[in-house]
Amino acid sequence: MDYIKIRFGNDFGRLSSKIEKTFAEMFRPRPVSPMFASAECTWIPQMDIYETPEEIIVLAEIAGVDKDDLEVEINSRAVKIHGTRQPMPRVDNTTYRLAEIQYGRFERVLYLPAPIDTDVVSSSYTNGFLQIRLAKTSRKITHKIPIEDG
């Protein structure tokens, strides 16, 4: 199977954005915990995180990933989304002129902007988008600590 890189038009204008993207990828925060580290990941899905006063919403673009090949893990400060996109069958005796779709294992760990309640989480998977809704914990909760005589 032959892969041919095709460029259209003048790419010089995009060179600086490619360099910026390369630097962003080089210095993108990587998981510190060995539990979350994986050297076998082959692609990184794009994701959005946004929040309301009550919750944090994570939206992941993972078209072509079967729901059974997808896992989500959470703790109070991070979300880990990982899975596998199975390759589409290739047609024999053909020359591919463009092959950009990435297959294989992926993993993303997203550190959340606020602590969440891990008991109040919902998720849905529609049209290739995974949406995870995470309820924030109240930061205004205070606890009285009794002081004992010493």
Specify the number of domains making up the chain.
Answer: 1
| pLDDT cut 90: percent of the chain above it | 50
Provide the residue type at 74 as one letter: I
Pairing of strands 129-136, 70-74: unpaired
Distance CA(65)–CA(115), nearest Å, equals 28
For the stretch 100-117, pLDDT in tens is 889 999 999 999 999 999
**Which residues of 55-137 form beta strands (DSSP E)?**
55-61, 70-74, 78-85, 104-111, 116-126, 129-136
Q: Identify the domain containing residue 73 by its residue range.
A: 12-136
Residue 149 lies in a domain: no
Burial of 62 (0-12, 13-18, 19+ CB in 10 A): buried
Residue 147 lies in a domain: no
Q: How confident is the model at residue 9 (pLDDT cuts 50, 70, 90)?
A: very low
Provide the residue type at 139 as one letter: R
Q: How confident is the model at residue 32 (pLDDT cuts 50, 70, 90)?
A: very low
Distance CA(63)–CA(127), nearest Å, equals 7
Q: How confident is the model at residue 27 (pLDDT cuts 50, 70, 90)?
A: low
Q: What is the CATH number of the domain that holds 28?
A: 2.60.40.790
Residue 73 lies in a domain: yes
Reference 132, options 17, 20, 49; nearest CA is: 49
pLDDT at 66 over 50: yes
